[in-house]
Structure 1
Amino acid sequence: MERYPYNSSFNHLISENPGFLSDLDKDKFLSVFRKVLPWIILIFLFTNLTAYLVIRWTKPVYEAYSDLKLDVKSEASVLGLNGLMAEEDNSNKLAGEIEIIRSKLFFNKVIESLDLETSYYNYGNVLNEERYRTSPFRALYVISNPAMYDKNIDIDILNEKRYRMSYVLNDKEVSGEYNFNEKVETPDLVVELKLKENVEPENLQLQYFFRANSRPALLSYLDNNLSVEPLNYNANIIRIRFKDHNVRKATDLVNAIDTLYLRYTIEEKNKVNLQKINFLNEQLENTSNKLEEYESYFENFTIQNKTVNLDTDIGRTIAMLEELDSARFQIGLQLEKIKELKQTLNREEENSFLLIQSGINPSFAKRFEEYNTLINERSLLKNSYNENTFAVKKFNQQLAVIKTELNDYLDQWQENLKEQLKQTNQKKSALENSFVTLPAKGTSYNKVKRFYALYEQFYLSLMQKKAEFEIAQAGITTDFKILSSASASSNPITPKVMLIHGIGFVSGLIISILIVLVGYAMHNSVSSQNEIEHLTKAPLLGVVPYYALEKLPETGLIVNKRPKSSISESLRTIRTNMEFLLNTDKSKKVISFTSTISGEGKSFIAANMGAILAFSGHKVLLVDLDMRKPRVHTTMGQEASDKGLSSILINRYLWEDALHQSEVENYHFITSGPTPPNSSELIGSPRFAAMVEEWKQHYDYILFDTPPVGLVSDGLVAMKQADLQLYIIRADYSKKAFLNTVNKLIAMPQFEKMALILNSLKTNSNRGYGYGYGYGAGYYEEPNAPKGLRAIWHNWVHKV
């Protein structure tokens, strides 16, 4: 058994037909287009419906944005206080500012500045709408169960006084009807709902829910929807964008971010100066304490040393020492004089006069004078009287009294001078000791004095710096310019309606074009007469039209039942063209019908062509040579019989015994009989050739229904005995590669008169008319023929 090796792949199609893409076959294109038109319409409906549903079910997202020009400067530079604020690189500065805006610390400030803790929504048919600042009620609550955060709490307003609240937590539903403005306690929270004034009646008809937003959820919300990007590094311009389903909320958030950022920037910039001022205050306090210690030292030093000028003190100390030495000398002289006085006073000699010394107490000086006077008088008296006389004794007594008084006075005076001398010596010793320590004290004093001056200067410098930083703090401003305040378009950024509709339309168009092109490229079946003319040299004998709307009769023989149908007319045309090819001297003609594979309609065409020839007054015999898969008996509407060609060739029956009469006069047929194991040998045997010659004696036309040549070689053996070989090609069924078989056969001398019949062709002239065929079915019928509305749709598609 030989099989025809064909490849239906796209690559094979290109290699076999390199110009098929450039040379567009309009008939083939229209054929492919008609086939896929329902799919194209469905694809267009699907893509555009998908686009509509995407728009309908996509919640619109709005974007608000503002542009800021960043330029932080300090007024301290204007006041001439340079070096207070460090300059930053622009790119690093912008990156740092962007990170500040996107930091969680800043997000927390934004959350605290706006009322974002609670979100209000109303249920919609498809999408829920956030009622930012437009909710008809306000919820005041205290959550005791943290699981209640980020949970929907449904509110159904019953009237202006009552509402119904419900929520589900841990698969348990909590619900109830309550009054507005009263506290409601549940196991998870305490809530009080306040209905706003002048609420529109239609708003009371909606179903609402609110949600207590957790801080992590709010931080995530801000982080996901906020974007900050630099627009111009040189100009220090950044753009703040925020996306949200509510345009007012997005605008408020951008405004809040702008305001908080300006305030936050000033605070952060002031923190630096505040830290410096605090440091200066601490240093000033320490320096002040040091200065107070030094001032106490100077005070004590002055108190202790009675001076603050040691150089003057040294000179004065030297002068004091000299004075002390002089005083000691004078005291010594006085002590010597007192000693002499005492000696003179204690002499027993006469005329011992006491010399009155300076510094003597006047009262005692008078007593000294009295003593000297008594001495003189006693001396005079002794010249006249005896020593034992009363007068002398009286003078002696007086002298003794005065002498005792004077001795006591001199002793006391002597003791006073000695005490003075002692004190003078002590002072001298003290001055001498002090004089020794004065240089060291001077050095220490000068050292402390220098430190005091340094600390004093440092204190003044700190005071100056503090004043500078306080001025800088008061003068720091943010020279931010809001180039464009927070604004948002009334049109959402997503979904983009026109773009999505355009994508739906274009995608449907592209997919449709791809389907048509792929269908065209992958359509490697013969679909038109032009393809046969381009791909083979065999003549095209005729075309049998496609017929799809009517069912064929039970048998495949139809020309006798519908002689005026398009199929009958096309077969008559083929008969006429066939007579031109058979214009030979032979009165008896043998015609073979074959195809490449089964299902191309060769048995149907052979049977009906025999009927057409019989109608012309010819005697016709149709012989079924396809012993492996016989179809002639089915086409003729009869049962299979053991009396057939195979049993005739083995001499089991005579051919007359296997002869069957068809429904048409002068038209007979012989079935194939039982399937033999060696059909090729039987057809190629002399017995078959002799029997053909015998048939020619009784019939004008002998028709061979041969096996498909692309599957087995039996048909080639029988075709060699035919005067005309008719090769059946079924449109939109037979592969283009099958024509290679035709080209190979027609190149052989035995098949020079081979001709083609194009079967089941859908053309503009016969659209909606004709029959379809199937090998082995006896007739063609469209599979799964549409009925009812599907039939109407099918008819409309074909009319298009």
Structure 2
Amino acid sequence: MTATQNLSDDEIDLGQLIGTLWRGKLAIAAAAALGIAIGAFHIANTNPTFQADALLQLEEKSGSLALPSSLSTMVDNDPRSVTEIEILRSRMVLGRAIADQNLDWRVSPDIMPFVGTMFSRYRFPVLSSALPSRFARPGDRIELENLVVPPSMLNQSFELIVTSETEYRLIFPDSLRLDGTVGQPTTLTETGFSITISRVEAPAGRRFFIRQVDERRAINDLRSRLSISERGRASGILEARLTGENRTENTRALEAVIQAYLNQNVSRSAAEAESSLTFIREQLPQAEQTLRTAEAALNAFRQEQVTVDLSLETQTILGQVTRIEGELADQQRREDELAQRFTPSHPTYRQLLDERARLEARLATLRDQVGALPETQRQILNLTREVELAQRIYTELLTRAQEVEVLRASTIGNVRIVDGASAAPLPIAPRKALILALSMVLGTMAGIAVVLVRNWMRKGVQDASELEKLGMPVFATINYNKDADTDGRRGGKLPILAFESSADLTVEAFRSLRTSLHFGMLDASTPSLTITSSHPGAGKSFLSVNLAAVAAQAGQRVCVIDADLRRGQLRRYFDLPRNAPGLAEVLAGDISFDDAVVQGSHENFFLLPTGRYPPNPSELLMRAELSKLIETCAQYFDLTIFDAPPVLAVTDPVILARNTGSTIFVARHDITPLGEVEAAQKTLSSAGLKFSGAVLNGFDPKKAGGRYGYGYGYRYEYKQRKQ
């Protein structure tokens, strides 16, 4: 049974959870609204980010001319997109772009902390006039035409203050001041500093910050805003994107990057062509010498043998051998060129080696056939083959030299601009809809968390069963009534709910309490009752007055005594002055009970206020006059109610509980912790006393997790009979 009960306690009550969230709906809605407000503020206080983009195509050919197929074999046809992307992001390209467009200059207006960006973007006629004149407003800007700073001033900001439409003042970090005129250079000869402001669009008093950053920092900043990717796989189409707060500057900077990349690509292609041409020119003299030597050897052999004719079969073999040897020689040159750019593991290099192995195998077969010919035929064939091979190599080198000359003269690179740099009119950030939606979701989640944490941390009494588990019978549960809540009322007369709203459900609960006390005090020594609590604000005074009122309405003579000699406020229910005599004077013997007691608006309802607050409340209550007072009240009244101070604050309630017939503890729903209830019990038990029972005051069904909401929808209606 215990295990089942523990399992049930650990389970989440979904209905109670929903009820808790529903009760905190205002807090959740407020948190969501606050989240949206924060998101809107973030959007308004953040400069928009624009994006410029461009498309590049990596072409297969190095030049725009239709070159022979033999020349195209010199060039690698792979786009090598990854390599080109890294070149685009290199310091070589970005540094050139920065130098061309002066992207290392920084000009920024002075903005107010925290909200300055918003005030520099939007016009607030009333608020803007209250801002200092130094801070930027919408439309304020200056144009920098030239800036030269010495190395010692790199990365250092200096101030520019607009003094008039055509004049300004510079303030350097070392407090040096220099006046200048718009459109004219302003220089410091001793340092080499020079600046030219071409335009100023700001009123006098505006302040701007100017600096020139070093090349490495400018490159890193530009690289962080630049992104390059390939569209599709192996498409050879590169998309370049550049983000920033200035739409025009983004386009200009991206165009500079593209042009710098194109220039280096053209230079690289021209360098490759020049390298190939140099290699060919180095091989030409050697090829010519080889040709002359082979021709001389063939002529000498023919003169020696007088004449020798080659058979058809020998001529065929000679042609094949010559062709293959020429191809091998051509491949050797290609291999020398590829070895300067690639390793043997490159696919193009491996393909060349495989083709060479095939040709060498075919050449070996033909040489075996040549070995089977007659000696004379074999010699004339070899000599003729050497002449033709040397002549073919020499001719091929001459042709290749002319082709590379054409390639070098017509080089435009292997990159083509498909779409030039252009910026979209709308910003890409901040994404307003996403930020507002996310802010609302986060705000709602924060509100839910606050409601759940607040509900979890609340340790107040939730229902009467919790008090009964501590051994205190609950005489009644008093519903919360906002009209009777006196926490916010600092002065003036307080209403007695039982007289003003007799049909209210809360008053009906007091009638139930009256009945319960009638039977609960049958064995009491005197018809006197002490009402106390563990802390102020539990509602014991409200409970004392209204319980006395419903008892008086039932025909009982009731006297309420304000026994809180430190902070008693029952006089406000009777609209009595602060210095009205009362309990303090009666206990001190300065006045009689009959002279101090006051009759209320009902003939059976009486009040004994506190009187003047004494310096020794506990000592007064410990006098014998208290017992005499209780005996006197028992003679004249059917019920005497002592409104005592909190039991955990002072010892007065213990003294009163020892002299009165019963003691009632008042617990405030959802406020009074169970720990305080237990502490109050221990305080009385240490004096040999105990509470006769308890009253759960201020019970709010809406705060009870929906467990009690079904029984509070009715009202009693009373009709007055006609006399």
**Common fold by TM > 0.5:** yes
* Structure 1 residues 204 and 19: CA distance shift in structure 2, 3 A: closer
- Map of 1:241-320 to 2, 5 A cutoff? 241-285=241-285
1:493 is matched with which residue: 428, 431, 434?
428
Matched, 1:84 2:74: yes
| Partners of 1:32 and 1:519 within 8 A in 2 | no
The alpha-carbon deviation at position 263 of structure 1 amounts to 4.0
Letter in 1 for 2:695: L
**Which residue does the alignment assign to 1:758?**
697
- Contact 1:709–1:716 (CA<8 Å) still a contact in 2? yes
Distance 1:86 1:154 in 2: 54
Aligned residues: 564
The amino acid across from 2:88 in the alignment is I
Instruction: Map Cα deviations across residues 214-272 of structure 1 (whole Å, 9 max, x no partner).
Output: 43343223212111123322323332111122212212333333344344334323422
CA distance in 2, matches of 1:494, 1:274: 48
In structure 2, the CA distance between the partners of 1:20 and 1:532, relative to structure 1 (3 Å rule), is farther
How far apart are residue 154 of structure 1 and its match? 2.6
1:187 corresponds to: 190
Equivalent residue for 2:598? 663
Asked whether the equivalents of residues 531 and 641 of structure 2 are also in contact (C-alpha less than 8 Å), the reply is no
Report matched runs for 1:126-165 at 5 Å: 126=116, 139-140=145-146, 143-144=149-150, 146-147=152-153, 151-152=157-158, 154=160, 156=162, 158=164, 163-165=167-169
Distance 1:183 1:514, change over 3 A: closer
Q: Which amino acid aligns with 2:460?
A: S
The 1:186/1:121 distance shift into structure 2, 3 A limit, reads farther
1:193 offset after TM fit, Å? 3.9
**CA apart distance, 1:95:** 1.5
Which residue among 141, 159, 175 is the counterpart of 2:178?
A: 175
- Paired with 2:567 and 2:221, the residues of 1 have a C-alpha distance of 79
State which of 667, 672, 680 in structure 2 corresponds to 1:729: 667
Deviation at residue 188 of structure 1 after TM alignment: 2.4
Note the C-alpha offset of 1:103.
Answer: 0.6
Whose radius of gyration is greater, 1 or 2?
1
Q: C-alpha distance in 1, partners of 2:61/2:637?
A: 118
Q: Which residue of 2 aligns with 1:647?
A: none
In the TM superposition, residue 734 of structure 1 has moved relative to its aligned partner by 1.9
Structure 1 residue 61: deviation in Å?
1.9
Letter in structure 2 aligned against 1:79: P
Instruction: Rate the CA distance shift 1:233–1:182 in 2: closer, same or farther, 3 A.
Output: closer
Residue matched to 1:94:
81
* Unaligned ranges ≥5, structure 2: 1-5, 122-135, 307-381, 572-580, 600-604, 682-688, 704-723
Distance 1:189 1:639, change over 3 A: farther
Equivalent of 1:55 in 40, 43, 49: 43
In 1, are the aligned partners of 2:161 and 2:205 still within 8 Å (CA)?
no
Which residue is equivalent to 1:105? 92
Shift of 1:574: 5.5
Checking the alignment, whether the CA contact within 8 Å between 1:593 and 1:725 is kept in structure 2 is yes
Cα shift readout 1:159-195 (whole Å, capped 9, x = no counterpart): 5xx53341313x2223124585567444323547485
**Alpha carbons 2:108, 2:210 under 8 Å: kept:** yes
Q: Cα deviation per residue 1:483-503 (whole Å; 9 max; x = unaligned)? A: 544332212222233444444
Deviation per CA, 1:651-689: give whole Å up to 9, x if none. Answer: xx9xx999995334866799998579xx9xx9xxxxx99
Provide the rounded CA distance (Å) in 2 between the counterparts of 1:282 and 1:262.
31
1:525 alignment counterpart: 460
Closer, same or farther: CA 640–487 of 1 in aligned 2, 3 Å: same
Cα distance in 2 for partners of 1:61, 1:238 equals 22
Aligned residue type for 1:166: L
Query: Residue 23 of structure 1 aligns to which amino acid in structure 2?
Result: Q
**1:534–1:566 Cα change, 3 Å:** farther
Rounded to whole Å, the distance in 1 between the matches of 2:642 and 2:110 is 78
1-side partners of 2:59 and 2:148: how far apart? 44
Aligned amino acid, residue 401 of structure 2: K
1:52 CA displacement: 4.3
Contact 2:56/2:415 (<8 A) preserved = yes
Letter of the 2:476 counterpart: L
SS at match of 1:172: coil
Question: 1:111–1:703: structure 2 CA closer, same or farther, 3 Å change rule?
Answer: closer
Aligned to 1:226: 226
Matched AA of 2:50: Y
Paired position in structure 2 for 1:577: 512
- Give 1:478 deviation, angstroms: 5.7
Extract unaligned runs of 5+ from structure 1.
1-12, 302-307, 316-446, 645-652, 683-687, 744-749, 765-800
* Pairwise CA RMSD: 6.4
What residue identity is the alignment partner of 2:426?
A: N
Q: Residues 747-767 of structure 1: CA distance to partner in whole angstroms, max 9, x if unpaired?
A: xxx999956352497999xxx
Tell me the SS of whatever aligns to 2:218. helix
Alignment of 1:1-20 (within 5 A): none
Residue 108 of structure 1 aligns to a residue in which SS? helix
Which of 8, 15, 23 is equivalent to 1:22?
A: 15
Judge which range, 663-672 or 594-603, deviates more.
663-672
Paired letter, 2:535? S
CA spacing shift, 1:537–1:286, aligned 2, 3 Å: farther
SS of corresponding position for 2:269: helix
Change (3 A) 1:548 1:74: same
Distance 1:177 1:236, change over 3 A: closer
Given residue 598 of structure 1, which amino acid in structure 2 is its aligned partner? H
Give the equivalent residue in structure 1 for 2:476: 540
Contact 2:162 / 2:206 at 8 angstroms: preserved in 1? yes
| Contact 1:118–1:213 (Cα < 8 Å) also in 2 | yes
Matches within 5 A, 1:447-466: 459-466=394-401
Q: Report the Cα offset of residue 107 of structure 1.
A: 1.4
Distance 1:274 1:575, change over 3 A: closer
Counterparts of 1:595 and 1:254, CA distance in 2: 80
Structure 1 residues 461-470 or 228-237, which shifts more?
A: 461-470
| DSSP-derived class of the 2:230 partner | strand
Take 1:212 and 1:531, find their aligned partners in 2: how far apart are those partners? Answer: 73
For 2:272 and 2:290, locate their aligned partners in 1 and report how far apart those are by CA, in whole Å: 27
% identical aligned pairs: 17
Which of 166, 184, 205 aligns to 2:170? It is 166
SS of residue matched to 1:248: helix
Per-residue CA deviation, residues 113-163 of structure 1 (Å, 9 max, x unaligned), is 435465666667845899xxx98866446545541566446374745xx53
Instruction: Measure, in 1, the Cα distance between the counterparts of 2:384 and 2:609.
Output: 148
User: What residue identity is the alignment partner of 2:697?
Assistant: L
Go from structure 1 to structure 2 and tell me whether the alpha carbon gap of 1:260 and 1:663 turns closer, same or farther (over 3 Å shift).
Answer: same
Instruction: Name the structure 2 match of 1:345.
Output: none
CA distance in 2, matches of 1:691, 1:729: 28
Quote the offset at 1:48 in angstroms. 4.9
C-alpha deviation, 1:276, in angstroms: 1.9
Q: How do residues 195-214 of structure 1 correspond to structure 2 at under 5 angstroms?
A: 211-212=211-212, 214=214
Cα separation, partners in 2 of 1:602 and 1:68, compared to 1, 3 Å: same
1:85 aligned partner, one-letter code: V
Alpha carbons 1:122, 1:208 under 8 Å: kept: yes
TM-superposed CA distance for 1:96, in Å, is 1.0
Amino acid in the other structure paired with 1:98? I
Separation in structure 2 between the aligned mates of residue 224 and residue 763 of structure 1, nearest angstrom: 56
| Structure 1 residue 215 corresponds to structure 2 residue 223 | no
5 Å-filtered alignment, 1:366-445, equals none
- The answer to whether the 8 A contact 1:619-1:667 is kept is no
State the alpha-carbon separation in 2 of the partners of residues 711 and 14 from structure 1: 39
Q: How far apart are the structure 1 equivalents of 2:469 and 2:283?
A: 106
CA distance in 2: counterparts of 1:137 and 1:582, whole angstroms: 89
Q: Distance in 1 between matches of 2:51 and 2:427?
A: 7
Cα separation, 1, equivalents of 2:90 and 2:546: 89
The one-letter code matched in structure 2 to 1:733 is I
